Amino acid sequence: MALTADQLPEDGAGRILIHDATIITVDPEDRVMAPGDLVIDGARITYVGPAGGPDAPHRQGEFARRIDGRRSIVIPGLVNAHTHTYATLFKGSYERMPLDLWLVAMRAPTRALDAGLLELSTSLAAVEMARTGTTTALDHFFGNPELPGAGIEAEIRAMRRVGVRHAVATVLMDMSWEDTLPLDPQALAAAKAAADDVTRRETAQGLEGAAAFIETYHRSHPLTTCLIGPSAAHRCSDALLRGSRELADRTGAGIHLHVGEAKSHALRSREVFGETLVGRLDRLGVLGPDVSMAHGVWLTDGELDALARTGTSIVHNPASNLKLGSGVARVREMRRRGVNVAVATDGPCSSDNLNMFEALRLAGLLHTSNQVDPEDWPSAREVFRMATIDAARAANLDDEVGSLEAGKRADLVLLSRDSVAWAAYNDPFVQLVFTENGGSVDRVFVNGAEVVTGGRVTGLDEYALYREVDAARRFLQPAVDAARATIAPLADPIGRMGRALRDTSVDDMAPEQRYH
């Protein structure tokens, strides 16, 4: 049975005054209030501004609570603009594995996840995010395709239970797995059964199911919005991509997909479709301000110009791109050309944590170089916007969250200055990006409800959850072993492909490097 909006509390109760705090607004003027006041009324912010005295108009009237903010930094809730919560039970399982092999290895054991295990997986993910200051997650959800809706209801139930805002996209793909990569045919022939099994699972969800998902869940609850989620540009036919665009236009839901994560994807697009990844999406009319695309590592200058022209966002995932050997996205160039760039953690098996402060730090460090004028390095202020208002835009939620402004949803985080990160108070943006690790998170509000107090999630027993996860993971071990055996034959063709690609340049496939 589908969840209904009245099954969980929708927002906070009464008025709350946070007074005399340091408030990082990320508003259009990028104001910092020190000291500042913030008033929450129900689910929304009604005042953000100078603290004023006890007679200030915004301090008048009854308040359910008054929170002394003199030792607090108040920031917008962080927006994790790309993750995969269904895989949280398998975090810490993989290393020394390139993306295309990792992907089939990581997804194989999800066939053992029932609705209860999927809810447990997302619950753990939501707790980790909430405890480290993330209030919104864009969750590209694969789940278990053998369950109704791949188990999406369990994901939504877990997010609502913990109190994390979620924009959920179901993964769609309709091309045979072996047709999505430049694999050696002879090597693939010996692994055909394994490849067919991957194809069967990856293509199990179609547009009809996505339409039903959108109709059932999109804006069905104050914390829930939906997107259409084609897996990746090179894994989807023209018909599926056009259908996704039509469904998004009809329902008002956005689109979220992977693009150019690995060199193999950029090359395959040119081999099969005769054009670049973004060029094809543009020709099909898919791009637009309601579209966000994860990674964008292997994109040409012309592709970046198309993204900027259409208002399409890129979501930068520095940790997973490093761990899986995919490369480093050209974030400086993206921003220079006018592309909206968000930052995210990616999934819990590719970055192995869902801590947005780590993603911020990596994004702040990766794009410096002794070959580049330091004036062109991204500033901490710019990087912080990539995890707040720019990420909210990527999730199609920037009119509701991502900054602290009157009228927006009350999604915010109080960081304690009584911590190693803030004891010496200097430049707050530099400290947010380079010194904070989530350990200073004291309180978290989502939709006006306090979901973290004293660094602990309020809506469940964290210790009981951790023990339940431990028991579940031990129960799953035989299924994990069996799944690894199932996909083992694919290691050889993927390994051969990787070795061949080392000597293949993207420029060789499109020498003129012009946008199609």
Measure the CA–CA gap between 241 and 425, rounded to whole angstroms: 49
What 8-state DSSP symbol labels residue 489? G
Q: Are 78 and 403 in contact (CB under 8 A)?
A: no
The pLDDT, as a whole number, for residue 8 is 41
Identify the burial level of 478 via C-beta atoms within 10 angstroms of its C-beta, where 0-12 means exposed, 13-18 middle and 19 or more buried: exposed
Handedness of CA 404, 410, 413, 417 (dihedral sign): positive
Domain boundaries, the chain: 5-76+411-457, 78-394
Give the relative orientation of helices 491-501 and 99-107 as an angle to the nearest 10 degrees: 160
Write out the chain's pLDDT in tens, 516 residues.
233 333 344 456 689 999 999 999 999 999 999 999 999 999 999 999 999 888 898 999 999 999 999 999 999 999 999 999 999 999 998 899 999 988 888 888 898 999 999 999 999 999 999 999 999 999 999 999 999 999 999 999 999 999 999 999 999 999 999 899 999 888 888 888 888 888 888 888 899 999 999 999 999 999 999 999 999 999 999 999 999 999 999 999 999 999 999 999 999 999 999 999 999 999 999 999 999 999 999 999 999 999 999 999 999 999 999 999 999 999 999 999 999 999 999 999 999 999 999 999 999 999 998 888 999 999 999 999 999 999 999 999 999 999 999 999 999 999 999 999 999 999 999 999 999 999 999 999 999 999 999 999 999 999 999 999 999 999 999 988 988 888 889 889 889 899 988 877 766 544 333 332
Domains 5-76+411-457 and 78-394 fall in the same CATH topology: no
The pLDDT, as a whole number, for residue 343 is 98
Q: Are 429 and 380 in contact (CB under 8 A)?
A: yes
The pLDDT, as a whole number, for residue 11 is 57
Q: Name the CATH code of domain 5-76+411-457 (choices 2.30.40.10, 3.10.20.30, 2.70.98.30, 2.60.40.2550).
A: 2.30.40.10
Tokens of 113: 């996840």
Radius of gyration over alpha carbons of the chain, in Å?
23
In sequence order, the 6+-apart residues with CB closer than 8 A to the CB of 261 are 99, 232, 294, 295, 297, 298, 321, 326
78-394 carries CATH number 3.20.20.140: yes
| Closest to 341 (Cα-Cα) out of 376, 311, 302, 372 | 311
Backbone phi and psi for residue 26, each to the nearest 5 degrees, phi listed first:
55, 30
Amino acid at 261: E
Q: What is the dihedral of CA 278, 283, 286, 289, to 10 degrees?
A: 70
Q: Which residues of 24-48 are buried (b: 16+ CB within 10 A; e: fewer)?
A: bbbbeeebebeebbbbbbbbbbebb
In sequence order, what E strands does 219-339 have? 224-230, 254-259, 291-295, 313-316
3-state helix, strand, coil in the chain (%, to 5): 45, 20, 35
Show the CA angle centred on residue 89, arms to residues 86 and 94, nearest 5°.
100
Handedness of CA 426, 430, 431, 435 (dihedral sign): negative
Q: Which helix (H) or strand (E) holds 331?
A: helix 331-336
3-state secondary structure of 330: coil
Strand ordering across the sheet containing 134-141: 78-83, 134-141, 165-172, 224-230, 254-259, 291-295, 313-316, 340-343
The pLDDT, as a whole number, for residue 506 is 66
Tokens of 382: 């710019």
Measure the CA–CA gap between 83 and 103, rounded to whole angstroms: 14
Q: Is the peptide bond before 35 cis (omega within 30 degrees of 0)?
A: yes
The pLDDT, as a whole number, for residue 189 is 86
Tokens of 292: 């966000």
- Among left, alpha and beta (phi > 0; psi -120 to 50; other), residue 14 is left
The pLDDT, as a whole number, for residue 12 is 65
